């Protein structure tokens, strides 16, 4: 029951905190006077890469990469599609320990910037520290999987964490995220997930008009 309440709370948190976020990508003032290379990117897509691991006995440890897409008129700011590859590590060992089997998977995610924590730098070109919500979903095909799910695993995770980046949704950003992850459909179980990611825009130009939120 506690797990159900936790997942429901994390899933509903974006709508509860969305009102705290001001118009995305708008500087406090003087936008039209800024240098072109300091404005938020208006790119419609970008790349992302990172690493993800889980807690427990035998756990997947992954490298992941993909493409993010800017969204409009939706409760989330970006959608991402990507691939993840990795192996199963015993007891989260890094330098010492056993690995067994490997996997490749498809990853989808939705990003909800929830609230600005603080900003650093000049107000005309600031770096924001934000509270972020991310929904992860992946489907993995496993070879020699030591976990109970066998050859195919579905993973879903509502994540919370901090980001450090520009004021626009497609600007360069670092993410540190954590939350509960469900493994299924066979031998359903819960683990804790931790992800470290970096995203950056692809293409786009830097306009003189205000960027989309």
Per-residue pLDDT tens for 8-24?
444 444 444 443 444 44
Tokens 């992941």 belong to residue: 64
Please report the domains of the chain, with CATH numbers, ordered by start residue.
2-20+45-202 (2.40.160)
User: Is pTM, for the whole model, over 0.85?
Assistant: no
Residue 182 predicted with pLDDT over 90: yes
Between the alpha carbon of residue 124 and those of residues 39, 120, 121, 204, 213, the distances in Å are 9, 11, 8, 20, 17
Report the alpha-carbon distance of residue 156 to residue 177 in Å, rounded: 14
Q: Where are the alpha helices (DSSP H) in 96-174?
A: none
Q: Verify cis geometry, omega within 30 degrees of 0, for the bond prior to 185.
A: yes
Return the higher-pLDDT residue of 140 and 120. 140
Q: pLDDT tens digits for 146-159?
A: 998 989 999 999 99
DSSP E strands, 121-188: 127-143, 152-165, 173-184
Asked if 76 and 97 count as a contact pair (C-beta separation under 8 A), the reply is no
């Amino acid at each position: 029951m506690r797990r159900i309440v936790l997942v429901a709370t994390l899933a509903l948190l974006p709508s509860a905190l969305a009102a705290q976020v001001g118009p995305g990508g708008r500087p406090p003032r003087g936008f039209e006077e800024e240098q072109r290379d300091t404005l938020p990117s208006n790119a419609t897509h970008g790349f992302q890469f990172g690493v993800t691991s889980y807690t427990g006995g035998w756990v997947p440890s992954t490298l992941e990469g993909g493409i993010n897409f800017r969204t409009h008129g939706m409760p989330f700011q970006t959608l991402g599609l990507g691939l993840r590859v990795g192996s199963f590590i015993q007891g989260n060992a890094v330098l010492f320990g056993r690995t067994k089997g490997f996997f490749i998977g498809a990853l989808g995610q939705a990003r909800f910037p929830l609230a600005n924590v603080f900003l650093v730098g000049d107000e005309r070109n600031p770096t924001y520290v934000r509270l972020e919500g991310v929904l992860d979903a992946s489907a993995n095909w496993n070879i020699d999987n030591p976990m109970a799910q066998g050859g195919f695993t579905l993973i879903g995770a509502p994540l919370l964490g901090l980001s450090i980046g520009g004021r626009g949704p497609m600007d360069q950003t670092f993410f540190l995220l954590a939350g509960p992850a469900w493994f299924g459909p066979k031998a359903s179980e819960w683990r804790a997930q931790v992800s470290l990611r970096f995203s950056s825009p692809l293409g786009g130009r830097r306009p003189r008009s205000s960027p989309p939120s």
